[in-house]
Homo-oligomer: A and B are copies of this chain.
Amino acid sequence: MNRINLICLGVRDMASSLSFYRSIGFQTMEREAQPPIVFFDNEGSKLELFPLADLAKDINAANPPERAGQSFPGITLACNFKDKAAVDNVFRLVKQNGGAIAKEPAMTDWGGYSGYFQDLDGYYWEAAYGPDWEFDEQNMLVIP
């Protein structure tokens, strides 16, 4: 795992946040004013907006492994892998090295395979595999 594909910000008001990020220059082909999720097609790791409450649920925040009294910072970082075994391998390494498992990797309702872990300061990472993902030459996701 030497890659960051997504920086996901949990937002309270999707329409306003989408408008804000567009206004400062971030670009997306999204056409809805209030889409369920937004991916921007920026340089570097792709910026993603996700409803805050749904993001917390996605990482099993009802039962988070609290570290140092930290609450959910609202941000997750993601590494998107090209096979399930790579996801499992990261979780093995995380456990061996003192990270906390927020959600063990499992099949998702969108046909992928995903889990969340926390680093030593409690920051959340998703490691995931999806059968339909396309990657560009920098191993970033191709954003439609």
Q: Name A residues whose Cβ lies closer than 8 Å to a Cβ of B.
A: 1-5, 7, 9-13, 16-17, 19-21, 23-27, 40, 42-45, 47, 52, 68, 70, 73-75, 77, 90, 93-94, 96-99, 119-121, 123, 138-140
Q: Would B42 and A44 count as touching, CB distance under 8 A?
A: no
CA distance in complex: A20, B93 (Å):
9
Smallest beta-carbon distance A38→chain B, Å: 13
Q: Would B10 and A74 count as touching, CB distance under 8 A?
A: no
Q: Would B4 and A120 count as touching, CB distance under 8 A?
A: no
Task: Known pairs A2-B25, A3-B42, A3-B43; list 18 more (Cβ under 8 Å).
Answer: A1-B26, A2-B27, A2-B40, A3-B44, A4-B7, A4-B42, A4-B44, A4-B47, A11-B121, A13-B120, A17-B119, A17-B121, A20-B99, A20-B119, A21-B119, A24-B94, A44-B139, A44-B140
